[in-house]
Chain A
């Protein structure tokens, strides 16, 4: 299915807008340019409503019904809302026909805000040269061509596009979406149901063959029937057990992931132990700090400080004292000598010192002087001996410096370590504060409980499978007997032929189903990797590469492999551009492998993408199909900013350009006033390099647009 055009009337602000799309396989891209609020999302919703009715629109967040008409529509007057989509469809024989799908409804805005609507009128016409031919069951046709349940693949917007890959929805839903998309587009879903139906038809024929082969055969058929029932029962039990097992495993995975995230902050027990150790070390450091203070206090109180402060002066004084001693000034021995000489009456030199002599008077004056100086000399002598004592005590002027340096070093080391430990302690305590202690305990307990249940489940599944295999062997034996009996009796050969034909058909359907589930899903996975790595510009063998590969797991989860056999969390470890690249790669790979020809309409896909990734992304999703790739159609709803950096690519790959604008943007953004009493959306054929009197905006100069004189718009 390729959409050629859409004609929209009275849908929101689209009063009467026609937009043409490229259906040319060589130019698969249609560019709808529009700034914020210009009507891109309105166009998306109008298309969805046209195809699927109200089911195609987002569910309202409140109880109020969505309104299709503009709030400017006068109340009390029914308004005809209409979307007409013209599309091509190529049938299984390769014949391409053109169809027109028209959906209409009357909506009546009321003064109280309600907008009652009538019944949708949906019509589908085959456009033929001889005239339009109405088709019956228009909605069923649309559902057949472009199923509503897959509308996420065909019609999406830049934000919702990530729903297959990340965020917003639970991982179960994401897996289900991926699973459903693969099964639907590859046809696995239909084949699975077809195989079930063919088994039923084959079983009926088989019973008829047996019934017509006589009593023994009927008895054997009853036994086989009973065995088949038992097998079906066991398969049902296994299916329930598998679902329960899958649920438990998924829950275990979720719990492990949550616990891992919580433990990513740090293991609680480890953190508590670490905090205790750090506090203990902190206490030791404080003790060391106090010890350093003590050593310093002791040093201040001891001789070493005195020596440090007065050592030089003491040495100087001691030198002076020694000099006095050397000169014989101290100790003062002359006093005794003079007294002795005066008592003897004879000088050392032999002169007479008896009373009355001049010499005696001289000596008596000397003695008086000596007696006057004697206490000083005595004190100096004592000081000299004291000084000698100090030296004998071995005091060292450098000792205090050594003690001080050692104490200071110990103090500094203790303080530095305290600061360092303080930082670590704060970090550890902050980390512990972020951990939801009770949640960790709960998760740990839940995981401890679910582990054995899963193991039991595996054993139970094994036992069920053994029972099924045993019943299968019994069935096979009985079927062989039955077959031999039927052949022997040459029962209704025509019926046997029909039965065998039904079996051929069943076998063929099963084989196709097996191939699609195995080989073709693997092809989607391989192509997904190729496209994704190409868009993000990743080399899986690069030494510093982050992306090693992408795959679809057996559980239908999309996994991005990174270094050292790790995988990246698509919610938290992939940036917005990579998430978009991954989702687009999935959609493109799936549609390519499934050989689906369907439109892919994306509103604002490049919002978070720039540079090389943007170039490669646009190139990948818009290039004409090559080789065995089926034709496709891509409709991108882009802002001027998104177009920047990729204008050349768009010019090369686009077969249709449309610009949409809304008159409400005059005069703030639009240059020209369109006149009119209410805001409307209009479309003009301007390309991404042009502007006109409809779409010209004040900021167009920044985009270097050429002004088109001729104005045509819808």
Chain B
């Protein structure tokens, strides 16, 4: 992320338009996007997509946990 600080700035603005599925969801979404962008330095597409799937899974689990109220 060192050479792309604008992504984070703009993501903070654009996240406001996304439904806050649970308190802190937008912040988690921005953090997840940072991670996804961070993974772009990997040239191996398969490995990169695997890692991004994990990022999405973590975010998704947080949302599920927030919805169901427990782990």
User: How far, in angstroms, from A594 to B4 measured CA to CA in the complex?
Assistant: 7
Q: Are B5 and A594 in contact (CB under 8 A)?
A: yes
Q: Are B64 and A498 in contact (CB under 8 A)?
A: yes
Known A-B contacts A508-B15, A595-B6; the reply to A204 vs B53 at CB < 8 A is yes
Interface centre among A145, A198, A508 (most CB of B within 10 A): A508
Instruction: From A140, A505, A598, give the contact of B33 (CB < 8 A).
Output: A505
Closest beta carbon of chain A to B21's beta carbon, Å: 7
User: How far, in angstroms, from A144 to B4 measured CA to CA in the complex?
Assistant: 10
Q: What 0/1 readout, one digit per residue, does chain B (20-44) give for beta carbons within 8 Å of chain A? A: 0100000001101110110111000
**Chain B residues with CB under 8 A of A146:** 3
Q: Are B2 and A498 in contact (CB under 8 A)?
A: no
Closest beta carbon of chain A to B15's beta carbon, Å: 6
**Chain B residues with CB under 8 A of A184:** 3
Q: Are B34 and A508 in contact (CB under 8 A)?
A: no
Q: Are A515 and B4 in contact (CB under 8 A)?
A: no
Known A-B contacts A501-B56, A516-B10; the reply to A89 vs B37 at CB < 8 A is no
User: How far, in angstroms, from A512 to B52 measured CA to CA in the complex?
Assistant: 18
Q: Which of A370-391 contact B (CB under 8 A)?
A: none
Instruction: From A187, A499, A502, A505, give the contact of B4 (CB < 8 A).
Output: A187
Known A-B contacts A191-B37, A194-B36; the reply to A504 vs B29 at CB < 8 A is yes
Known A-B contacts A1-B2, A504-B29; the reply to A509 vs B10 at CB < 8 A is no
Known A-B contacts A190-B40, A498-B56; the reply to A512 vs B63 at CB < 8 A is no
**Chain A residues with CB under 8 A of B4:** 185-187, 190, 594
Instruction: From B5, B14, B53, B56, give the contact of A511 (CB < 8 A).
Output: B14
User: How far, in angstroms, from A143 to B41 measured CA to CA in the complex?
Assistant: 9
User: How far, in angstroms, from A592 to B35 measured CA to CA in the complex?
Assistant: 24
Q: Which of A567-610 contact B (CB under 8 A)?
A: 593-596, 598
User: How far, in angstroms, from A455 to B48 measured CA to CA in the complex?
Assistant: 41
Q: Which residue of A lies closest to B12 (CB)?
A: A512
A476 on the B face (CB < 8 A): no
Q: Are B2 and A145 in contact (CB under 8 A)?
A: yes
Closest beta carbon of chain B to A219's beta carbon, Å: 26
**Chain B residues with CB under 8 A of A140:** 41
**Chain B residues with CB under 8 A of A205:** 56
A520 on the B face (CB < 8 A): yes
A92 on the B face (CB < 8 A): yes
Known A-B contacts A140-B41, A511-B17; the reply to A497 vs B3 at CB < 8 A is no
Chain A: residues with Cβ within 8 Å of the partner, total of 49
Q: Are A512 and B7 in contact (CB under 8 A)?
A: yes
Q: Which residue of B lies closest to A511 (CB)?
A: B14
Q: Are B7 and A191 in contact (CB under 8 A)?
A: yes
User: How far, in angstroms, from A182 to B1 measured CA to CA in the complex?
Assistant: 15
**Chain B residues with CB under 8 A of A512:** 7, 10-11, 14, 33
Q: Are B37 and A190 in contact (CB under 8 A)?
A: yes
Instruction: From A91, A515, A596, give the contact of B14 (CB < 8 A).
Output: A515
User: How far, in angstroms, from A485 to B22 measured CA to CA in the complex?
Assistant: 26
Q: Are B7 and A516 in contact (CB under 8 A)?
A: yes
Instruction: From A91, A201, A596, give the contact of B49 (CB < 8 A).
Output: A201
Q: What 0/1 readout, one digit per residue, does chain A (127-143) give for beta carbons within 8 Å of chain B? A: 00000000000001001
User: How far, in angstroms, from A593 to B33 measured CA to CA in the complex?
Assistant: 20
A-B pair number, CB within 8 angstroms = 128
Closest beta carbon of chain A to B19's beta carbon, Å: 8
Q: Are B52 and A144 in contact (CB under 8 A)?
A: no
Closest beta carbon of chain A to B14's beta carbon, Å: 4
Q: Which residue of A lies closest to B13 (CB)?
A: A515
A315 on the B face (CB < 8 A): no
Q: Which residue of B lies closest to A515 (CB)?
A: B10
Q: Are A516 and B6 in contact (CB under 8 A)?
A: yes
Q: What 0/1 readout, one digit per residue, does chain A (469-505) give for beta carbons within 8 Å of chain B? A: 0000000000000000000000000100111111011
User: How far, in angstroms, from A189 to B13 measured CA to CA in the complex?
Assistant: 20
Instruction: From A91, A150, A185, A193, give the contact of B40 (CB < 8 A).
Output: A193
**Chain A residues with CB under 8 A of B39:** 194, 197
Q: Which residue of B lies closest to A190 (CB)?
A: B40
**Chain A residues with CB under 8 A of B7:** 187, 190-191, 512, 516
Q: Are A594 and B63 in contact (CB under 8 A)?
A: no
User: How far, in angstroms, from A498 to B58 measured CA to CA in the complex?
Assistant: 9
Q: Are A508 and B40 in contact (CB under 8 A)?
A: no
User: How far, in angstroms, from A417 to B21 measured CA to CA in the complex?
Assistant: 90
Closest beta carbon of chain B to A494's beta carbon, Å: 5
Known A-B contacts A200-B49, A516-B6, A516-B10; the reply to A505 vs B40 at CB < 8 A is no
Q: Which residue of B lies closest to A495 (CB)?
A: B60
Q: Are A92 and B34 in contact (CB under 8 A)?
A: yes
User: How far, in angstroms, from A497 to B4 measured CA to CA in the complex?
Assistant: 30
Instruction: From B33, B52, B63, give the contact of A508 (CB < 8 A).
Output: B33
Closest beta carbon of chain A to B66's beta carbon, Å: 9
A147 on the B face (CB < 8 A): yes
User: How far, in angstroms, from A500 to B19 measured CA to CA in the complex?
Assistant: 11
A507 on the B face (CB < 8 A): yes
User: How far, in angstroms, from A630 to B6 measured CA to CA in the complex?
Assistant: 11
User: How far, in angstroms, from A502 to B64 measured CA to CA in the complex?
Assistant: 13
**Chain A residues with CB under 8 A of B52:** 194, 197-198, 201
Known A-B contacts A494-B64, A505-B59; the reply to A187 vs B3 at CB < 8 A is yes
Q: Are A502 and B15 in contact (CB under 8 A)?
A: no
Instruction: From B13, B33, B36, B57, give the contact of A498 (CB < 8 A).
Output: B57
**Chain A residues with CB under 8 A of B63:** 497-498, 500-501
Q: Are B6 and A497 in contact (CB under 8 A)?
A: no
**Chain B residues with CB under 8 A of A501:** 21, 29, 56, 59-60, 63
User: How far, in angstroms, from A237 to B56 measured CA to CA in the complex?
Assistant: 31
**Chain B residues with CB under 8 A of A515:** 10, 13-14
Q: Which residue of A lies closest to B57 (CB)?
A: A498
User: How far, in angstroms, from A190 to B40 measured CA to CA in the complex?
Assistant: 6
Closest beta carbon of chain B to A508's beta carbon, Å: 6
User: How far, in angstroms, from A197 to B53 measured CA to CA in the complex?
Assistant: 9
Give the B-binding residues of A (Cβ under 8 A).
1, 89, 91-92, 140, 143-147, 150, 184-187, 189-191, 193-194, 197-198, 200-201, 204-205, 494, 497-502, 504-505, 507-509, 511-512, 515-516, 520, 593-596, 598, 630
9 cross-chain CB contacts under 8 A: A147-B3, A187-B37, A190-B37, A197-B52, A198-B52, A201-B56, A505-B59, A593-B6, A594-B3
Give the A-binding residues of B (Cβ under 8 A).
1-11, 13-15, 17-19, 21, 29-30, 32-34, 36-37, 39-41, 48-49, 52-53, 56-57, 59-61, 63-64, 67
Known: A185-B3, A194-B40. 16 other contacts (CB 8 A): A92-B5, A140-B41, A147-B3, A185-B4, A186-B4, A198-B56, A205-B56, A497-B60, A500-B63, A501-B56, A505-B29, A508-B30, A512-B11, A594-B3, A594-B6, A630-B5
In the A-B complex, the 5 residue pairs with the smallest Cβ-Cβ separation, listed nearest first, are A187-B4, A498-B60, A187-B7, A190-B40, A511-B14
